[in-house]
């Protein structure tokens, strides 16, 4: 099309380049008869028009032939060039067709210059890496959940079989067995509820409502069972936007985790002053604004946790062996906390205390309200000995974009 347009423009410019002019100069010798100048002018003009028409026709024919020839050459060169350029695309397409959920570890591994096609291949490899990680996490989660659900079922069946196999079983022994079976069923109910909460959190938020962290935390603390631990609170308004039910579950899990795994072993200096640095377990909960964002901070005493082990505590069904939690723990508390924080776009930071326990902070996205325009500082919960916590967090989940 470009060649046709160029030919048409050239032909138009040449065809409209102006008429040929005939000039007769001089009259010749005096004894020569004088020609008829008007007739000569007409004859020369007609001859000029014939030559011009022949020239234009020749220009049109030769230009058309050249256009056809170059069009064929351009098509051939374009075909070869496109095939060479798109060869990596065909390679990526063939590799992508062979990749399934069984071999997500394979990559396109596009080589060549750093151009758009290599960027596309690298982006697809990154997507495959994320999918591979997600599939592995899902498989581990399903395997762990199956194991956790199968354990109480096996216990229930064993209890019932032992009771039925005992010919001397009386009403009292059967009642004891029923109570143990009921307790195992309640454990299953809590586990299933935790799994559903984790799945709902990982699915994302279906609605967002203005939520103040302070009253949510106050309600959770009012219904919490301290179990011998001293609970200190410093609750300032901290408005965010999210799902109140999931926020309440996050707070409940953090407080429950701090209380369940809170013992005085290795916590204090043994001075017995009851100020959080002796044998008395303690939990400190604070809400407020920090850096322009609403923050929830839960700090507890407890056994010393190495920084490289904090990451594992946020994995489903992963428990720290040396933590003195009760036998009713499910290993899903901090996993649900992380899922809820991610769903709300909140940043999650966990730092082991220098004298034991954990310092967990959740920074939610800010939501401006006229009633809480003034910033409220979050009280820094010190460690048991008053020394500052390590500056490098062992666990950090950045807020979602």
Q: Rounded distance, CA 86 to CA 142, Å? A: 41
What does the pLDDT read at residue 21?
A: 59
If asked whether residues 223 and 344 sit together in one domain, one would say yes
Q: Is 310 part of any domain?
A: yes
Q: Is 97 part of any domain?
A: no
If asked whether residues 172 and 250 sit together in one domain, one would say no
CATH of the domain at 196: 1.10.287.130
If asked whether residues 155 and 25 sit together in one domain, one would say no
Q: Is the pLDDT of residue 378 over 70?
A: no
If asked whether residues 183 and 249 sit together in one domain, one would say no
Q: Is 104 part of any domain?
A: no
What does the pLDDT read at residue 286?
A: 95
Which has more confidence, 285 or 229?
285
Q: How confident is the model at residue 202 (pLDDT cuts 50, 70, 90)?
A: low
Q: Is 53 part of any domain?
A: yes
Q: How confident is the model at residue 385 (pLDDT cuts 50, 70, 90)?
A: very low
If asked whether residues 224 and 358 sit together in one domain, one would say yes
Query: Which range (21-30, 120-129, 336-345) has the least confidence?
Result: 21-30
Q: Is 91 part of any domain?
A: no
Q: Is 138 part of any domain?
A: yes
CATH of the domain at 311: 3.30.565.10
Which has more confidence, 335 or 126?
126
Which has more confidence, 270 or 275?
275
If asked whether residues 153 and 235 sit together in one domain, one would say no
Q: Is 148 part of any domain?
A: yes
Structural domain ending residue among the three candidates 203, 235, 254:
203
If asked whether residues 173 and 222 sit together in one domain, one would say no
Q: Has this prediction a pTM greater than 0.85?
A: no
Q: Rounded distance, CA 336 to CA 313, Å? A: 11
Domain that holds residue 70: 2-85
What does the pLDDT read at residue 142?
A: 76
If asked whether residues 67 and 28 sit together in one domain, one would say yes
If asked whether residues 163 and 277 sit together in one domain, one would say no
If asked whether residues 227 and 334 sit together in one domain, one would say yes
Mean pLDDT (whole number) for 366-379: 44
Q: Is 161 part of any domain?
A: yes
What does the pLDDT read at residue 36?
A: 65
If asked whether residues 287 and 339 sit together in one domain, one would say yes
If asked whether residues 125 and 11 sit together in one domain, one would say no
Which has more confidence, 329 or 305?
305
Structural domain ending residue among the three candidates 85, 104, 129:
85
Q: How confident is the model at residue 296 (pLDDT cuts 50, 70, 90)?
A: very high
* Token duo for residue 384: 């048991």
Confirm if 301 and 355 have CB atoms less than 8 A apart.
Answer: yes
Domain count across the chain: 3
Q: How far is CA 256 from CA 231, 326, 330, 342, in A?
A: 12, 11, 12, 20
Structural domain ending residue among the three candidates 180, 203, 226:
203
CA atoms within 13 A on the CB side of 373: 2
What does the pLDDT read at residue 158?
A: 87
């Amino acid at each position: 099309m470009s060649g046709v347009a160029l030919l048409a423009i050239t032909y138009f410019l040449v065809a409209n380049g102006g008429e040929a002019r005939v000039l007769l100069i001089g009259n010749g010798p005096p004894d020569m008869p004088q020609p008829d100048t008007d007739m000569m002018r007409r004859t020369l003009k007609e001859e000029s028009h014939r030559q011009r028409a022949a020239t234009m026709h020749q220009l049109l024919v030769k230009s058309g032939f050249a256009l056809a020839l170059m069009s064929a050459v351009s098509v051939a060169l374009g075909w070869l060039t496109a095939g060479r350029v798109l060869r990596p695309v065909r390679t990526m397409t063939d590799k992508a067709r062979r990749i399934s959920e069984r071999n997500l570890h394979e990559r396109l591994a596009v080589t060549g210059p750093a151009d758009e096609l290599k960027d596309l291949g690298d982006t697809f490899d990154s997507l495959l890496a994320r999918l591979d990680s997600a599939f592995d996490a899902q498989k581990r989660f399903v395997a762990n959940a199956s194991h956790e659900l199968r354990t109480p079922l096996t216990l229930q069946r064993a209890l019932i079989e032992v009771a039925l196999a005992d010919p001397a079983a009386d009403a009292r022994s059967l009642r004891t067995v029923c109570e143990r079976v009921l307790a195992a069923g309640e454990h299953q109910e809590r586990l299933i509820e935790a799994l559903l909460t984790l799945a709902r959190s990982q699915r994302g938020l279906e609605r967002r409502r203005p939520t103040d962290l302070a009253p949510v935390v106050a309600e959770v603390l009012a219904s919490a069972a301290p179990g011998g631990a001293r609970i200190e609170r410093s609750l300032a308004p901290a408005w965010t936007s999210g799902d109140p039910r999931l926020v309440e579950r996050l707070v409940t899990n953090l407080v429950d985790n701090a209380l369940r795994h809170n013992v005085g072993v290795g916590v204090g200096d043994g001075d017995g002053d009851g100020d959080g640095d002796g044998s008395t377990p303690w939990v400190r909960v604070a809400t407020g604004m920090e850096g322009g964002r609403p923050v929830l901070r839960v700090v507890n005493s407890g056994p010393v946790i190495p920084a490289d082990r904090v990451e594992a505590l946020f994995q489903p069904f992963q428990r720290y062996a040396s933590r003195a939690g009760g036998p009713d723990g499910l290993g899903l508390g901090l996993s649900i906390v992380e899922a809820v924080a991610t769903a709300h776009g909140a940043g999650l930071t966990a730092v082991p205390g220098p004298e034991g326990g954990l310092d967990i902070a959740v920074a939610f996205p800010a939501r401006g309200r006229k009633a809480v325009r003034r910033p409220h500082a979050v009280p820094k919960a010190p460690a048991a000995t008053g020394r500052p916590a390590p500056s490098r967090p062992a666990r950090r989940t950045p807020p979602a974009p």
